[in-house]
Amino acid sequence: MNLLREFTPYLSVLVPFRAASAGTLLCLGANEIVMGPLGELGPIDPSVANAFNPEDPHNPVARLPVSVEDVMAYLSLAREIAGLESEGSLAGVFNRLVDKVHPLALGNVHRNYALIRSLARKLLELHMPGEERDRVEDIIKNLTERLYAHNHMISRREAVQDIKLHVTAPSARLEDLMWQLYLDYEADLKLLEPFNPAALLKPQEYSVEFEATGGIIESIPCLDAFVFNGTITRESQPREGAPPVNVTFTRQGWRQLI
């Protein structure tokens, strides 16, 4: 968003369909969010993942993500719903949490709690004047704390009336162009085809190379794509609970296609 702002004083973001989480965060930096009737935004509360997160019981080599707002909600539950107020009671609640989640993982949760609010504030302040500071803080709270579920779908009406974002509806002509553009990206990114490594291997094959496009940046002179290259190898003796194939990424990065 900062890079886009280097090239224009006024920026509009088109949302023909879903722009959840990080997509919503980008929208916060725009002067105008143009949402079609099927447009959706989402909460910006992050989940964190690092080496100190709890192990996934179904896959010992993986780690479970920890939702920042879930941790904060657990502590709020103890204070506001259970009515725990004494230092001893709250210390017991916190110790129970530390028994399940590594202290350094919780430290990472707090850093991300502060980070997402700082990012949202900086993005909104790119185009909102200082006298709207209260509205900025209200938008941040709405998108982090007050929706209660990360998969909550924010419609165009809710974005205007409840979240208080600067959202406009496109004309019929622009709405049609936005949707056609979305369908083009849907085809290029194969959004309707789940990436299933095991399905890419034929029964007689031991390994196969693959290429997948994860994102596109298009401008008038060129088109660049973020491309993943790798190898899918069949496991001869897969461990219990582990996937039957191994995916190895050999290259990933931006590539100019046109």
The reported pTM is: 0.79
* Identity of residue 42: G
* Identity of residue 58: H
Structure tokens at 140: 């941040």
pLDDT > 80? residue 236 = no
Q: From edge to edge, which strands make up the β-sheet containing 167-168?
A: 12-15, 32-35, 167-168
* pLDDT of amino acid 16: 97
pLDDT > 90? residue 123 = yes
Q: How confident is the model at residue 239 (pLDDT cuts 50, 70, 90)?
A: low
pLDDT > 80? residue 257 = yes
Question: Rounded mean pLDDT of the chain?
Answer: 90
pLDDT for 138-191, tens place per residue?
999 999 988 878 889 999 999 999 999 999 999 999 999 999 999 999 999 999
Q: How confident is the model at residue 240 (pLDDT cuts 50, 70, 90)?
A: low
* pLDDT of amino acid 122: 96
Q: How confident is the model at residue 242 (pLDDT cuts 50, 70, 90)?
A: low
- Which is nearest to 67 in space by CA: 116, 137, 124, 119? 116
pLDDT for 7-52, tens place per residue?
999 999 999 999 999 999 999 999 999 999 999 999 998 888 878 7
C-beta of residue 48 within 8 angstroms of C-beta of residue 182? no
pLDDT > 90? residue 112 = no
* pLDDT of amino acid 238: 66
pLDDT for 197-208, tens place per residue?
888 888 888 899
